[in-house]
Amino acid sequence: MSVRFIKDINSSNKFRFLRGLNASQKIKFLKAIIIPNPTVPTSTGSAGARGQISWDDDFIYVCVSGNSWKRSALTTW
């Protein structure tokens, strides 16, 4: 298994990855992915990079290729 850590997204909507970690940096692995302030796309053509994930109260959004989003409804269970 390979794990890559995203540093940010550049102006061309490409992920920039961390190249390494130094001894002072700490990573805590949880049993969940937490994105505290997701930015929800406003349309299927909103800016985004493949692999980005976001959500609001009704949908989860996934960027499937550059500036191309799909969404799926969230329901209770």
8 A C-beta contact, residue 38 and residue 54: yes
- Condensed to tens digits (0 to 9), the pLDDT of residues 4-61 reads 566 666 667 666 666 665 555 555 566 666 666 778 999 999 998 888 888 899 999 9
8 A C-beta contact, residue 10 and residue 47: no
CA 18 to chain CA centroid, Å, is 15
- Condensed to tens digits (0 to 9), the pLDDT of residues 52-65 reads 888 899 999 999 99
Strands 53-55 and 59-65, bridge-based pairing: antiparallel
Domain limits, the chain: 41-77
Of residues 51 and 3, which shows the higher confidence score?
51
**Residue entry with tokens 């490409």:** 14
State if pTM tops 0.75. no
For residue 1, what are the CA distances in angstroms to 4, 18, 30, 32? 10, 17, 17, 17
